[in-house]
Homo-oligomer: A and B are copies of this chain.
Amino acid sequence: MAISNPILIADRWQASTGDATFQAYNPNTGEALPDLFPISTWQDCERILDAAASAFEQLRLLDPLSIAKFFELYADSLEQHREELAALAHLETALPLQPRLRDVELPRTYQQLRQAAKAVREGSWRLPTIDTQLNIRSEYASLGPVVTIGPNNFPFAFNGAAGGDFAAAIAAGNPVIIKAHPSHPATTQRLTQLALAASQTAELPEGTIQLIYRLPKADGLKLVSDHRVAATGFTGGRESGIALKQACDVAGKLIYLEMSSINPVVMLPGEIRDRATELTAEFCTSCLMGAGQFCTNPGLVLVIDAPESRAFIGAIAEHLKQAPAGPLLSASGLKSLASSVASLITNGANCLTGGKIATEYPGFRFENTLLSISGNQFLQAPRTYQTEMFGAASLMVIAENLDELVTVLKSLEGNLTGTIYASKTGSDDDAFSAVAGALRTRVGRLIQNKMPTGVAVSPAMNHGGPYPSTGHPGFTAVGIPAAIRRFAALHCYDQVDDKRLPTSLRNKNPNDLMWRSIDGIWTQQDVKATST
């Protein structure tokens, strides 16, 4: 019998205490890959949790410059191993090797780590706030061990071992317990090997980075709610997210969720008249990207009924029909997509193209799918018609008029993004206001004349939104420094002597770069000598 791959506990790669194993699949062929990975037991978790708790006690007192150094080393290492990593992830996910994995997602990932390094060096993410009159000072500081659970669709950028939650959790000064996504365990293992090497060179405490691959569901819930864990970052499907949330809620533990989103896109009449051809291309590119497996995939498109709108929808359907069906990430993803599409059709949506498993191809593929429904019918059962189709599948809602379109928008749950395409001529201006008014409170990011796929790593980004797209509308999963503060506690010091304060709150600005709010004024200066 082949030996299963080791897990990482307290900086040592070692066999899991569990006997059960699993394999990943090549989505292009549908065949199992040879490597065996362990399904961990609670005994593995116990040891990991103890090591994480011990790492935290050291990490929170460590000079942040060591953490910055770690990020820089790890980013360089990812860049050096670019070919190898891209090939590995391609094998496990069937996402395009180039440009996607090699030239877009991996560079984005190491650039994000470099941003994290810069944020840690500067320290402004802490929002240090000083009241010199009362001598009260506060800042965000490390929280405790964080479990990072990444999704299947971004093997690098959202990987628990390299992505946004990983970067944010460690930047805040917390150890991470990585729960690999079982569809790309070898990629996650390799990332973790490189991360561990960087961690050891930067002399981060033992146990700062630990890895398990899979757990029985009950143990997963036990892990995120364990007293030694402070928070969890989860990106994935709604069902798993809600189950984890419930476990955390009962235990009083934090969890940041990025769950389902259908990302409504409104195409206003003037814009369809002006730019139907370009719009068709933009929409189809966005819809088909990564076989539609993006959390910001345009799953719901709204138009007002008109001959131009009908022609536009027809052109999209034709375009999607001509495009080859891309490989989905897993057999379960295929099953889930087929089930969502079937449910919408059964409930009355018209199937304009696609709608079935693409049996003519190997691997996990579903035909590119376009469904349509009238605004009136959508309003009969808005919950039903908001079913997420995770893949290259969208539902077009054809509203009778602007009022009906706005009413449909008001029936939507929380989403990550909301997009409005409006004519540059001004002919859509009134409609824009009405649509934006309805979308604004229902989405995290409001986008004008651009597809929602593509989430820039910007300090101004919000990759978040109202429930159930996430668990809290005040936090973003992407964007440094804001994403870091998710994994931080607010620490206040009242009358504490300067020498006993963290360096970030002392009178002297520790690096002359850190922005601090002193008596209501944001500054990089020291606290004035006349103050306490």
Is A330 on the interface with B (CB-CB < 8 A)? no
B448:A497 contact, CB within 8 angstroms: yes
Q: Which residues of B contact A495 (CB under 8 A)?
A: 447-450
| Copies of this chain | 2
Q: Which residues of B contact A485 (CB under 8 A)?
A: 474
Is A71 on the interface with B (CB-CB < 8 A)? no
Is A441 on the interface with B (CB-CB < 8 A)? yes
B460:A131 contact, CB within 8 angstroms: yes
Is A245 on the interface with B (CB-CB < 8 A)? yes
A473:B245 contact, CB within 8 angstroms: no
Q: Which residues of B contact A437 (CB under 8 A)?
A: 61
Is A254 on the interface with B (CB-CB < 8 A)? yes
A440:B491 contact, CB within 8 angstroms: yes
Bound form: Cα–Cα A444–B494 in Å: 10
Bound form: Cα–Cα A502–B252 in Å: 36
Q: Smallest Cβ distance from A215 to chain B, in angstroms?
A: 23
Bound form: Cα–Cα A253–B473 in Å: 10
Q: Smallest Cβ distance from A444 to chain B, in angstroms?
A: 6
Instruction: Give the residue of B131, B446, B496 whose beta carbon is less than 8 angstroms from that of A446.
Output: B496
Bound form: Cα–Cα A64–B65 in Å: 41
Is A436 on the interface with B (CB-CB < 8 A)? yes
Chain B proximity mask over A285-322: 1 for CB below 8 Å, otherwise 0: 00000000000000000000000000000000000000
A492:B249 contact, CB within 8 angstroms: no
Bound form: Cα–Cα A60–B497 in Å: 43
Bound form: Cα–Cα A521–B134 in Å: 27
25 contacts between A and B (CB under 8 A): A61-B437, A131-B456, A131-B461, A134-B460, A136-B461, A138-B460, A138-B461, A143-B473, A252-B468, A253-B467, A254-B472, A436-B500, A445-B494, A447-B494, A447-B495, A447-B496, A448-B496, A448-B500, A450-B494, A459-B520, A461-B492, A462-B492, A474-B488, A474-B490, A476-B492
- For the complex with contacts A433-B500, A446-B491, 5 further pairs of A-B residues with Cβ separation under 8 Å are A130-B460, A445-B494, A448-B495, A466-B489, A515-B522
